[in-house]
């Protein structure tokens, strides 16, 4: 039996979930539907800094810490495996060291940074512009401008299809055996999930190859190097859907980051980006049986990762794939498995297939 699976979303959650499900469920057919793919996703706005920013709204309420730790740990392990591959550069995976000043670091996170320690005040006064006390550690950067196209290539190599097509409602996909919902902030609309709220983030992308360390100061100001550029942030504007640049935010980000690294003045500003962190009181990973025009179709949700979707993505993709397999085993026990298979799927060939900038 070959399961016909529709994934909605080509952001980091849709792609990592599609990839993991294809690895775990032999012979499944996967079609990824999306409005936006790299370089247009929320992950492309993100610095891709692997750090368990509080997620949940208000922060961390409703999300239990052992789960966060598990997702974080699995992602750290996965990136370590990828880094050993010579293609890690093409995937956008690289270690980065630096400083976090002010603000509390979650205790569980410190366990996964082997060199996590307080910044030596002498080193701080020798090498840094005066700052609040803080911590130093090494982590991964996962640059989505490289990582997402790599994931798309892997999915295509396994036979996955990509269709740029807006899904108005789950019932559009009722002829698939399964639907995977990785719609980021749009989960708000497609599921009518009142727990979702956007957390608007604006960043300035700068070419400044001499900036090799990360600097995070308080909750909003950060300088985070990616493979080819440096991301300066930022903002956290809860409830704000505006995807246009706010010039006042740009001025504030520039001013605050220059206080930490004055030489950024010589950085070449490439662009200002805005993204909506998909805020939710807790990340939602579960299978829901939906009645779609009289037909019961399981929908696997994996959304609501707030400001830490890159950090938790692989752990969440594993949990989502596990949830799907548990569901499939359960219904196999209760039903004749042949009922699951819908051989004649809706002919999606009519869907508008547009080429995507990331070399689909």
Ligand X SMILES: Cc1cc2nc3c(=O)[nH]c(=O)nc-3n(C[C@H](O)[C@H](O)[C@H](O)COP(=O)(O)OP(=O)(O)OC[C@H]3O[C@@H](n4cnc5c(N)ncnc54)[C@H](O)[C@@H]3O)c2cc1C
Nearer to ligand X, 33 or 208 (CB): 33
C-alpha 167/C-alpha 150 separation (Å) is: 24
Nearer to ligand X, 208 or 328 (CB): 208
Q: How far is the CB of 131 from ligand X (least distance, A)?
A: 20
Q: How far is the CB of 224 from ligand X (least distance, A)?
A: 6
Nearer to ligand X, 3 or 310 (CB): 310
Q: How far is the CB of 147 from ligand X (least distance, A)?
A: 11
Q: How far is the CB of 237 from ligand X (least distance, A)?
A: 10
Q: How far is the CB of 148 from ligand X (least distance, A)?
A: 9
Nearer to ligand X, 82 or 328 (CB): 82
Nearer to ligand X, 119 or 151 (CB): 151
Would you give the distance in Å from CA 286 to the centre of its chain?
Answer: 17
Query: Which parts of this chain interact with ligand X (CB under 6 A)?
Result: 8-14, 33-37, 41-43, 45-49, 166-167, 182-184, 186, 190, 201, 203, 233-234, 275, 277-278, 303, 305-311
Q: Which long-range contacts (CB under 8 A, 24 or more apart) does 338-342 make?
A: 338/1, 340/1, 340/3, 340/177, 341/1, 341/2, 341/3, 341/177, 342/4, 342/175, 342/176, 342/177
Q: How far is the CB of 110 from ligand X (least distance, A)?
A: 17
Q: How far is the CB of 46 from ligand X (least distance, A)?
A: 3
Nearer to ligand X, 34 or 150 (CB): 34
Q: How far is the CB of 334 from ligand X (least distance, A)?
A: 31
């Amino acid at each position: 039996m070959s399961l016909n699976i529709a994934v909605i979303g080509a952001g980091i959650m849709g792609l990592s979930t599609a990839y993991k499900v294809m690895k775990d469920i032999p012979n499944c057919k996967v079609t990824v539907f999306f409005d936006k793919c790299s370089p247009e996703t929320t992950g492309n706005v993100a610095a891709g800094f692997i750090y368990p920013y509080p997620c949940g709204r208000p922060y961390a309420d409703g999300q239990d810490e052992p789960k966060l730790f598990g997702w974080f740990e699995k992602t750290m392990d996965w990136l370590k495996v990828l880094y050993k591959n010579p293609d890690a550069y093409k995937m956008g995976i690289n270690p980065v060291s630096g400083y976090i000043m002010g603000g509390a670091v979650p205790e569980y996170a410190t366990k996964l940074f082997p060199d996590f320690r307080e910044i030596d005040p002498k080193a701080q006064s020798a090498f840094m512009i005066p700052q609040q006390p803080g911590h130093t550690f090494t982590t991964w950067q996962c640059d989505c401008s490289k990582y997402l196209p790599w994931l798309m290539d892997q999915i295509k190599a396994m036979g996955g299809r990509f269709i740029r097509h807006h899904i108005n409602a789950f019932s559009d996909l009722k002829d698939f055996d399964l639907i995977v919902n990785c719609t980021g902030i749009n989960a708000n609309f497609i599921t009518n999930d009142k727990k979702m709220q956007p957390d608007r983030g604006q960043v300035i992308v700068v070419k400044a190859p001499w900036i090799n360390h990360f600097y995070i100061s308080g909750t909003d100001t950060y300088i985070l190097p990616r493979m080819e550029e440096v991301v300066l942030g930022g903002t956290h504007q809860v409830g704000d859907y505006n995807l246009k640049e706010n010039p006042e935010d740009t001025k504030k980000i520039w001013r605050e980051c220059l206080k930490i690294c004055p030489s950024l003045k010589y950085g070449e500003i490439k662009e200002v980006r805005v993204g909506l962190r998909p805020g939710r009181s807790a990340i939602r990973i579960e299978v829901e049986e939906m009645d779609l025009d009289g037909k019961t179709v399981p929908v696997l949700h994996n959304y609501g990762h707030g400001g830490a979707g890159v950090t938790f993505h692989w752990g969440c993709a594993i949990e989502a794939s596990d949830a799907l397999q548990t569901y499939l085993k359960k219904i196999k026990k209760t039903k004749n498995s042949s009922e699951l298979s819908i051989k004649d799927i809706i002919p999606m060939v009519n869907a508008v297939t547009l080429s995507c900038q990331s070399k689909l």
